[in-house]
A and B are shown apart, each in its own frame.
Chain A
Amino acid sequence: MSLDQADPIFVGGTVGKSVAKPDNLEKVQGRAEYIADLYRPGMLHGAILASPHAHARINGYDLTDALDAPGVVAIITGDDVGDGRMGAFIKDEHAIAKGKVLYVGEPVAAVAARTEEEARQACRLIRVEYEELPAVLSPEAGLEPDAPILHEKLSEYIKVFDAGSEGNLCSRTELSEGDVDAAWADCDVIVEDEFTTQPQAHVSMEPCGALAEVDATGRVTLWSANQSVFRVQANVCESLGLPMSKLRSLTPRVGAGFGNKMEPHIQPITVALAMKAKRPVKLILSREEDFEMVRARHPYRVRMKTGAKADGTLVARDCEVLVDCGAFADDSPGVLGYSLLMCGGPYRIPNLRASGRLVYTNKLRFGAFRGFGNPQVLFAGEQQIDQIGDKLGLDPFEIRRRNMLQEGDQWFVGPRIGSNGLARCMDAVEEAAKGPRADGSPRNFGLSVTAHISGLLGTGAIVRMLEDGTISLNTGATDIGQGSDTVLAQICAEELKLPFDQVVVASPDTDGSPYNWGTTASRVTYTTGRAVKAAAGKVVEQAMDHAAEMLDCDVEDLELREGGRIGQRGSNTDVTFAEISGRAHWAVGGPLVGSETLVFDEPTHDPKRAIALGLPFPRIGVFSFAALGVDIDIDDTSGQVTVHEAWSAADVGRAINPRLVDVQLHGGFVQGLGYALYEEMVWDGARLANPSLMDYKVPTARDVPDAIHTFIIEDPDPTGPFGAKGAGEIGLNTVPGAIANAVAKATSARHTDLPLTGERVLDGMLGPDPSQD
């Protein structure tokens, strides 16, 4: 039996069922089209010349030889783009280096030629005259009084919030509640440390790419690997000075994102090339370029101090972070602000102060990455909770239970918490992990808990009933493989009481889709799901009005029945969606379309309880919760840590599709495992020393334990669609903290630096001096 004749997979399907994603079929058959798989008539291939310098002025270009090279049609440099600058929070970035280069690997010129090989060869013939400048390679160096300045015109840039930018300081945020300085006197136990975390690469399996084409009127169509067609549109238009109406942004299948494809990569360059070449141009990054010129997770320096009473009650925490921004602001101000909002963890800490600085350096931009600043502060915070517990003789569950946020509490600086399943998450982990291993040996157990938001910014949905009563759903949300199209179709189908397979999801298209900020911030299920549910509800209302007329009764007497029928209560008579839609299309009222737009608009900051300066997200979202327990082994010879067993529980409000939630928890755990144990981007001076999968290693199937147990906890959020909250990031946040706590238990050594390599753990076990072995 071939797959095409297989049993229908999409039978029925409503909220709470693990419907298989429809896109799985074309993916297993090798027929899914990603950006690199698109070809257009007359299409050229692009390649990029990257900067060899960390910081240099560009004094000129000599393109003579490159233009003469075989197959070359067009070349663009900074001279081809205007003064436009793009950026989510601070508009500081040109489409391509203009006037200066700010990091090794930054695009300086791009070539369009008949083949990729010809384009790459031609790049080598471009001569750029540089005047080298001293480089800033760490945030500390960037804050020195005589530091070289990356952005001389920083004060003139457009900023969307009170960033406090100055010199190389990109932004700063300060939040506080209570009186931290006075509170230390009330503490019986105080722990204090400095923690560092490393840069991590996203390593989406699909490298970034784009394809642009200009039509006869000069309007651009742009396909690209992205997490938001709308952010692509905005960034390209801002950086190239195009009216937004002149650019249509689309997306093929996307080979994952994890934050890497949310803000721009090479879309503006590809558009500029296509405009100059007057031919379609496709530009696909190599893996090495994807490492060097897109973005990565921020390295953090976290100074944290936490105090508690003798009974374990937390009294105060002070958290100060210094964050490497890289060359451009990108999402960094948001990451800084968010990590500070989250640095207290899901605990009641009456006196809490968080401050941070984000500093420009001559490295690639750091930006959004699953967790968005939360894993870095959590690595510090969750270790300090354990340290306090250890000092007071309270086990990891107990110290957390005594302090966790309760129903009705507000989060740090003020946001409302809709529902809180943290206690149930901890119960699930504790119950499953209790006792020794199957062979009777004791566990090396570590625990970490977390909260994460889902929400933020604008979203919309359009639900259209087609003539035959089936449904077209259009949200503009990019499905990056995680299954948001499936989840949104489930929400839509549920609201309309239709089988899942009667809802089709339109591909995001800035021409035809309602605005969607993006597939990011664990937000699509919650935010877009709300819009979908409301829009579908409006279609039901319209259908009810038709049905009332068709059945000659009051709307109040009608009920929506399974399978697309509306009937009179207590009677068998009903009308089908097909009959209703036909009537609407051809006779009365017009086609049935329900639409809804919304923006998450509950304020983050409650001025009555907290002081907040430089808060980049004034309206943030609702809270999901999670707990992770790990039981680890440490190799005596090498110090390497492996996970023996893990228990990951997450409160996602309501699992619209439990299997997809489960895969998020597994995938997040394994990506977090790489982050906790060995993934690290290493710089040799200004050069990234390991921009390849040979040298930068991510976990393989053999590095992952079989025994990862997931627990989906459902504590419905009153505002979420069917109670749902986000699940995309929360499974990663807890991994470094839980493993660090387990390592501390197994070796009696606390580690303040990530990743927890065999080398570090062995040093912790034996002391740093090998001659003492």
Chain B
Amino acid sequence: MKIEGDFEVEAPRGEVWEKIRDPQVMGASIPGCDTVEQVDETSYRAQVAVKVGPIKARFNLLVEVLEEQPEHTILSRTSGEEGTRASVVNSDNVVRLSDTDSGGTRVDYVANVSVTGRLGKFGLGIFRKKADQLAGQFVVNFREKLGVTA
């Protein structure tokens, strides 16, 4: 499942880059994320709770930065599983930053997400909608961390 989108923030690229590379900021922006633990320079662990109607899941995720071009591009991989509850999630992510005409930053993101196991049998469409919804929530939270709104 491919999730893609973009958003703009009224903050310079350097600052946005710094926040995107800061696990604590990312953790606080990801909806449902309650703990973040830096593993090393390029990876961190996070626990994320997801709820779709009556279905609740809690994933232990490992986020690894595979490649980066400072202030421009990050390639990362998110992998994890749902404790002993039989779902596995993997995601290959690309985030690109660029300047906007008004001096802000445009963020483009693409994630190729796969969920298998018990939650992997759930309908395709709702996953996508849920992912879009979470992405929207992330943008709101992230902007807040940057101290900008809208």
Contacts and interface: CB of A to CB of B under 8 A. Distances in A.
A207 to B, nearest CB: 15
A102 to B, nearest CB: 14
A432 interface: no
A687 B85 contact: no
A508 B120 CA distance: 39
B115 interface: yes
Contacts of A165: none
B148 interface: no
A689 interface: yes
Contacts of B85: 124
B88 interface: yes
A125 B84 contact: yes
Interface string B11-46: 000000000000000000000000000000000000
A635 interface: no
Nearest to B85: A124
A573 B112 CA distance: 85
A684 B88 contact: no
Given A124-B85, A684-B1, A288 B116 contact: no
B86 A124 contact: yes
Contacts of A687: 114-116, 120
A38 B115 CA distance: 35
Interface in A119-136: 123-125, 132
Given A52-B88, A124-B85, A288 B121 contact: yes
Q: Is chain A's binding surface mostly helix, strand, loop or mixed?
A: loop
A288 B120 CA distance: 11
Contact of A691 (B86, B87, B121): B121
Given A52-B116, A104-B116, A684 B84 contact: no
B121 A692 contact: yes
B123 interface: yes
Interface in A45-67: 50, 52-53
Nearest to B87: A52
A504 interface: no
B1 A685 contact: yes
Nearest to A691: B121
Interface string A596-640: 000000000000000000000000000000000000000000000
A50 B116 CA distance: 10
A394 interface: no
Contacts of A50: 117
Contacts of A692: 121
B101 to A, nearest CB: 30
Interface string A661-692: 00000000000000000000010111101111
Contact of A52 (B117, B121, B123): B117
Give the residue among B84, B120, B123 with the most A Cβ atoms within 10 A: B120
B150 interface: no
A567 to B, nearest CB: 67
Contacts of A549: none
A511 interface: no
Contacts of A682: 124
Contacts of A288: 121
A686 B86 CA distance: 17
A695 interface: yes
A53 B120 CA distance: 12
Contacts of A132: 90
Contact of A124 (B84, B115, B121): B84
A347 B107 CA distance: 60
A684 B115 CA distance: 9
Contacts of A53: 88, 90, 116
Contacts of B90: 53, 132
A123 to B, nearest CB: 8
A53 B87 CA distance: 11
A682 B123 CA distance: 11
A288 B118 CA distance: 10
Contacts of A690: 123-124
B112 A684 contact: no
A331 to B, nearest CB: 26
Contacts of B1: 684-685
Contacts of A124: 84-86
Nearest to B1: A684
Contacts of A123: 86
Interface in B92-113: 112
Contacts of A691: 121
A123 B117 CA distance: 12
B97 to A, nearest CB: 26
Nearest to B88: A52
A505 B18 CA distance: 78
A517 B121 CA distance: 35
A689 B124 CA distance: 6
Nearest to B123: A695
Contacts of B117: 50, 52
Nearest to A135: B114
A252 to B, nearest CB: 28
A53 B1 CA distance: 14
Nearest to A292: B121
Which of A104, A685, A686, A695 is most buried by chain B, counting CB atoms within 10 A of its CB? A685
A293 to B, nearest CB: 12
B112 to A, nearest CB: 7
Interface in A681-726: 682, 684-687, 689-692, 695
Contacts of A686: 114, 116
B117 to A, nearest CB: 6
A311 B123 CA distance: 52
30 contacts: A50-B117, A52-B81, A52-B87, A52-B88, A52-B117, A52-B120, A53-B88, A53-B116, A104-B116, A104-B120, A124-B84, A124-B86, A125-B84, A132-B90, A288-B121, A682-B124, A684-B1, A684-B114, A684-B124, A685-B1, A685-B112, A686-B114, A686-B116, A687-B114, A687-B116, A687-B120, A689-B123, A690-B123, A690-B124, A691-B121
The list of the 9 closest CB pairs from A to B, nearest first, reads A52-B88, A52-B116, A689-B124, A124-B84, A685-B114, A124-B86, A104-B116, A687-B120, A684-B124
Given A52-B88, A684-B1, A695-B123, 6 more contacts: A53-B90, A124-B86, A125-B84, A682-B124, A685-B1, A687-B114
Interface of A: 50, 52-53, 104, 123-125, 132, 288, 682, 684-687, 689-692, 695
Interface of B: 1, 81, 84-88, 90, 112, 114-117, 120-121, 123-124
